[in-house]
Amino acid sequence: MALEHARFNMIEQQIRPWDVLDQDILSLMSRLPRDRFVSETYQHLAYADTAIPIGMEQVMMQPKIEARMLQALELHPTDRALEIGTGSGFVTALLAKLTLQVRSIEIHAVLTEMAAQRLQKLGIKNVELETGDAAQGWQDKHLYDVIAITGSLPVLPDAFKKMMNRGGRLFVILGQAPVMEAVLIRRTGENEWSQESLFETLLPPLINAETSDTFVF
């Protein structure tokens, strides 16, 4: 009961006030047990407005950032999604519930395995997990409708933009502490993209992320 109450408060006190009004996302996040994706040590923080440690010096995003990301990506049941940074597997599960297929890449094999076990226990099968370093992009013959990058990047490698279908959407948090900004990038043509600023936040960077003093879009 305590976890159910905490989940309710997460929706009403964290996510809704952050302008997340998509009912599909609100409903899903009120049902999907986030506590299944954290260790027993942090069970009491599963629905808190904080970045929860998940091992390997990595953390989960705050629930409100997860929700804003999903809303910005305008997910459809026919979308094929790519996630960079599987982490706990919670965002992977959310994406899987809202899209047709998810491929998720994680640099730490132990996190990949833990996420696989959690997804399996929840009966989530439309996910392909891989272990590898995708901070500079990912060698993949597929194009995606949605790309969710769950760690920050000082700059966005061009490789990610070229992995989107026309009309595809990419969410990423760009910059370096103390100034980072969540942005949504859309592919509008063969060699054309648009960028929309969403909100300011802070998020640990992807391991091996490219560094640069400037970002050219």
User: Domain for residue 158, yes or no?
Assistant: yes
- Percent of the chain exceeding pLDDT 90 equals 91
User: Domain for residue 217, yes or no?
Assistant: no
pLDDT (tens digit, 9 = 90+) per residue, 126-153?
Answer: 999 999 999 998 988 899 999 999 999 9
User: Domain for residue 80, yes or no?
Assistant: yes
The model's confidence at residue 217, banded by pLDDT at 50, 70 and 90, is: very low
Angle at CA 134, nearest 5°, toward 133 and 137? Answer: 140
Query: How confident is the model at residue 212, as a pLDDT?
Result: 58
pLDDT (tens digit, 9 = 90+) per residue, 159-214?
Answer: 999 999 999 999 999 999 999 999 999 999 999 999 999 999 999 999 998 765 54
* Burial grade of 177 (CB within 10 A; 0-12, 13-18, 19 or more): exposed
Query: How confident is the model at residue 140, as a pLDDT?
Result: 86
User: Domain for residue 207, yes or no?
Assistant: no
User: Domain for residue 206, yes or no?
Assistant: no
CATH number, residue 64: 3.40.50.150
Q: How far apart are CA 37 and CA 145, in angstroms?
A: 26
Helices (H) and strands (E) counted in the chain, each on its own, are 6, 9
Nearest Cα neighbor of 29 from 48, 13, 10, 45 is: 10
Please enumerate, as own/partner, the contacts of 35-42 that have beta carbons within 8 Å and a separation of 24 or more.
35/3, 36/118, 36/121, 36/122, 37/88, 37/89, 37/90, 37/93, 37/118, 38/88
User: Domain for residue 216, yes or no?
Assistant: no
Q: Which domain holds residue 96?
A: 2-200
User: Domain for residue 209, yes or no?
Assistant: no
User: Domain for residue 213, yes or no?
Assistant: no
Task: List, in order, residues 6 or more apart from 210 with CB less than 8 Å away.
Answer: 135, 136, 153, 154, 155, 157
DSSP codes of every residue in 57-99: TEEPPPHHHHHHHHHHTT--TT-EEEEE--TTSHHHHHHHHHS
Task: Decide the pairing of beta strands 58-59 and 101-106.
Answer: unpaired
User: What is the tally of structural domains in the chain?
Assistant: 1
CA distances from 210 to 57, 68, 80, 140 (A): 19, 25, 26, 19
Task: Report which of residues 215 and 44 the model is more confident about.
Answer: 44
pLDDT (tens digit, 9 = 90+) per residue, 105-127?
Answer: 999 999 999 999 999 999 999 99
pLDDT (tens digit, 9 = 90+) per residue, 19-70?
Answer: 999 999 999 999 999 999 999 999 999 999 999 999 999 999 999 999 999 9
Q: What is the mean pLDDT of the chain?
A: 95
